[in-house]
Amino acid sequence: MKYILSALVLLLCVSCVEEANNYQDGNVAFDRGDYVVAFEKYTKAAEAGHAEAQYKLGRMYSSGWGVEQNYQEAMRWWRQVAETGHTDAQYNLGQMYFFAKDVPQDYGQASYWWRQAAEAGHAEAQYNLGEMYEYGWGVTQNVVQAHKWFSIAVANAPSKEARERAVSDRDDVAQMMSSEQVAEAEALAKEWLSIR
């Protein structure tokens, strides 16, 4: 029994190393522009359960890099890894539903996936969720929530342009709000940021 258990552990270790090697080989091939080899390596790693390879395989299908463009396959791989908490995959699923990329436009699904990513700290998803609340797309329109998410996006913006866009939209929403609503939104944003 001891030998069987040892053999299983050894087999798992070999499998994990092979999965990691395929992923790394895929990155090297992708960086040099060899998308066919990258696709092959990412596929092997993704099928073995490598989360980042699953995400990148979705990107390759979405963009048509090394394979015929196929949004359904992109969504399949992104959904698989999004359900484990991969924020970029969650964000991309939101994009697919919002912009109707080979699926019916579904603001409810877009807001669902953007909320998952936003709650985990994805700045673009936070901004998009602010827009969803501002206009009532897939959620009940709520200027307090819109202001809150724009404020959070400002704090987490990855670039000056993204920060300026979020500030501008937050300020536009504030024009429609009472001073009490603005204070509530600011308190909600501050609370959210303090526990992250």
Q: What is the mean pLDDT of residues 84-94?
A: 97
CA dist., res. 52 & res. 48, Å (int): 11
Give the pLDDT score at 4.
Answer: 60
Token code pair at residue 190: 């501050």
Give the pLDDT score at 8.
Answer: 47
Check for a shared fold between 1-84 and 91-196.
yes
The full set of domain ranges for the chain reads 1-84, 91-196
Give the pLDDT score at 12.
Answer: 47
61 contacts 67 by C-beta, under 8 angstroms: yes
pLDDT 10s digits, 144-184? 999 999 999 999 999 999 999 999 999 999 999 999 999 99
Domain 1-84 belongs to what topology?
1.25.40
Using pLDDT thresholds of 50, 70 and 90, give the confidence band for residue 21.
confident
CATH class of domain segment(s) 91-196: mainly alpha
For 111, residues 6+ apart whose C-beta sits below 8 A from its C-beta are 94, 129, 132, 137, 138, 139
Q: What is the mean pLDDT of residues 137-150?
A: 98
pTM value is 0.87
pLDDT 10s digits, 40-85? 999 999 999 999 999 999 999 999 999 999 999 999 999 999 999 9
